Amino acid sequence: MSLAGSALATVGVAAVAGSAAGFLVPRGLRVWLASGATLVAGLAAVVAALSVLAGRGDVHVDWPEVLPLSGFRLDLDPLGAWFVLVVAVVVVPVAIYAFGYCEHDLAGRSVQGMFPLFVGALVFVPTAGSVSTFLLFWELMAVTSLALVAAEHRARPAVTSATMWYGAMTQLGFVAILAAFGLVVATAGGQSFVALRAGVPDMSATRAAVVFVLAVIGFGSKAGIVPLHVWLPRAHPEAPSHASALMSGAMVSLGIYGLVRVGVDFLGAGPRWWGVVLLGLGIVSALFGVLHAMVATDLKVLLAYSTTENMGLVLVGVGAALLLRSEHEPVLAGVALAAALLFVLNHALFKALLFLSAGSVVRATGTRDLDRLGGLSRRLPATTALFAVGALAIMALPPLNGFVSEWALLQVLVRAGGREPAVLGLAMPVAVAAVALVAGLAAATFVKALGTGLLARPRSPEAQDAVESPRSMIVGMGLLATACAALGAFPAMAASGLGRATRAAGGIGNPFGRGVARLQLVGGAAVMSPVFLAAALLIGAALVAGVARVLSVSRARRRAETWGCGRVLQTSRMEYTASSFAEPLQRVFDDVLHPDHDIDVTHAAESRWYVDAIRYRSGVVDAIDQRVYRPLVRLTRAAGERARGLQNGSVHRYLAYGLVALLVVLVVAR
């Protein structure tokens, strides 16, 4: 067996052993054994992914006797290995983080038992080589993540609602995926991925279009793409924080994997409108997500909407790749796909870091409300510094990895906008403008989260009494922050594996050229050296600090409150909250967000001419949730109430139902 195959076997054994330990071992050893097994699984997955991406051979396993009628098949190619790497680089620090997080009663037996199985499912989804194997691991991923979301349902009523929404949306997505694969299998005559690729030329254009739409619905729902995102801001905040980090950093990325595997690898370029649809969905998702993140006051809800925004940007890259392939621009299409895949990896790193930092804040304060936080920089200095690294990365500021991803994506869109036909000249500038607007709003969003949530003054007793998290949690977050800095300074070290991944999906070999200290896009003059940019920033900061120190030596120092404005006493009531910080931008986008305002005036009992109290409430609700899903839920409930009449206890009626259903099936089959 190859090195990658042995590593994948280790992942499976460690996942099963960790799950058994989580469910069966007494509490004293449960955390160490379950988290330790998860760490082993993550390290083994890193080895497997790097082995394939380094060109040391793919993994091919075929056990026809394992699953009845369908068999069990694993085929790990470079495209799948890239997504295994995305999962693994999150699993390793999250497992280290879990040692401290789970030890303080923040995760019970069910969480510690399900978490290793969830990790195993995440790793094996991109390794599947047949439809039945893929669906098996995909459903295992869905069930285990659903159990993790529901883990704290006794403590908070919102968890039950989030679990129901997540369960419904994930199963609807599964039905769409099953239907898409069913149509392809019916054409190909086999269910292995090799047979699916071979059968695509025999598929009619209409059937291919239906498969593409079903894949967008099924995999897009898992990625949190608008309008299929409604489960994400509900489920991610309610799951335990280390599970949230893995769901938002790794699980949603597998939705992108499914889209790339089916839409790019199996179906090929497709017609022009496929790329336009994905490009449009990506732009809408990115704008919708960042606007709702901007006005959110719940820290984990903010991060969940930010995931929708980032997956929208990834979808812009995938859509641009499909559109460029349909217009016979293979070089630019390969660079666009590579930019999207690099964005997936970078997003996994900084979003997992932000969710783990949020978990540290919640553990220390017991609240996710940004309006009640503040003043944590002195009480949680390590958490604040690491959250700041994640915030700077997601704001796409140099020299961190988020900047590299958005730079590459913008370069592709700008270069493609000056080409024929007219659809490129129209769609690409719109995409550039959207990405630029999203970047600006994301900066405002995370300045709000960092400035009002962790800096400033404490606005509640919980924030005032916060205590720093255990060392293992800090180490886990520190590993992710280090990876963000390393990929930001030396992104070209991922170019070789990224080139093999894009080639496996039908793209060009190495879209980012050669060299470690610089990043150059193939087919153009765009060149960037992140490490030199980082050095220039550090030198500039050191010069500014040195000049300021020299100028202040001859002057007497006087201590004063920051932004005191001459006041003797500065209190937290004089500072911006998260709500007030976002309010000016919210006014700009009122026509999009449609905020709810409510003023409640209470008059004095003696006379209505005297006011006793005035209460003002303002909030933003998800318009798609309110206008699409809520009416649909009410309609479904009404239909369910009417359907009760079909069950009257009559055996004869039930037999008639079965007969009618059988006749319908026979007619359809005929």
Give Cα 345 distance to the centre of its chain: 10
Nearest alpha-carbon partner for 236 in 119, 368, 366:
368
Q: Is residue 36 part of a domain?
A: no
Mean pLDDT of 377-386: 91
Q: How confident is the model at residue 555 (pLDDT cuts 50, 70, 90)?
A: low
Does 480 share its domain with 629?
A: no
pLDDT band at 643 (very low <50, low <70, confident <90, very high): confident
Averaged over 334-360, what is the pLDDT? 93
For residue 480, pLDDT over 90 is answered with: yes
Judge if 493 and 442 occupy the same domain.
yes
DSSP string covering 250-299, please?
Answer: IIHHHHHHHHIIIIIIIS-S--HHHHHHHHHHHHHHHHHHHHHHHH--BH
Same domain, 567 and 664: no
pLDDT score at 361: 92
Query: Domain range holding 648?
Result: 623-669
Lowest mean pLDDT among 82-96, 314-328, 474-488, 590-604: 590-604
Residue 164 domain-assigned? no
Distance CA 324, CA 276 (A): 10
Report whether the peptide linkage leading into residue 271 is cis, meaning its omega lies within 30 degrees of zero. no
Where does the pLDDT of residue 120 fall: very low under 50, low under 70, confident under 90, or very high at 90 and above?
very high
- pLDDT confidence band for 446 (50 / 70 / 90): very high
**Quick one: pLDDT band at residue 506, thresholds 50, 70, 90?**
confident
Q: Mean of the per-residue pLDDT values for the chain?
A: 87
Q: What is the pLDDT of residues 50-96, one digit of tens each?
A: 999 888 877 888 887 777 767 788 899 999 999 999 999 999 999 99
- Domain membership of residue 257 (yes or no) is no
**Are residues 543 and 629 located together in one domain of the fold?**
no
Q: What is the pTM of this model?
A: 0.91
Is a pLDDT exceeding 60 seen at residue 525?
A: no
- Let me know if residue 78 belongs to a domain: no
Q: What percent of the chain has pLDDT over 70?
A: 94
Q: Do 447 and 569 fall into the same domain?
A: yes
Q: How far is CA 641 from CA 212, 401, 469, 645, in A?
A: 35, 52, 49, 8
Domain-embedded: residue 165: no
Low-confidence winner among 435-439, 501-505, 568-572, 582-586 (lowest mean pLDDT): 568-572
- For residues 556 and 576, give the distance between their C-alpha atoms in angstroms, rounded to a whole number: 31
> In terms of domains, do 662 and 568 share one?
no
Q: Does one domain contain both 537 and 647?
A: no
The residue-averaged pLDDT of 399-416 equals 88
Pair 573, 657 in one domain: no
Instruction: Kindly state whether residue 122 falls inside one of the protein's structural domains.
Output: no
Q: Is residue 185 part of a domain?
A: no
Q: What domain count does the chain have?
A: 2
State whether 328 and 401 are in the same domain: yes
Amino acid identity for residue 121 in this structure = A
pLDDT of res. 119: 95
- Tell me whether residue 17 is in a domain: no
Measure Cα distances from 583 to 160, 255, 405 in Å: 31, 33, 30
Q: How confident is the model at residue 377 (pLDDT cuts 50, 70, 90)?
A: confident
Same domain membership, residue 634 and residue 547: no
How high is the pLDDT of residue 535? 82
* Token couple for 586: 């919210």
Q: Specify whether the CB–CB gap between 108 and 150 falls below 8 A.
A: no
For the stretch 184-210, pLDDT in tens is 988 887 888 888 888 888 788 899 999
Residues 309 and 452 in one domain: yes
**655 in the same domain as 512:** no
- Give me the pLDDT at residue 139, please: 94
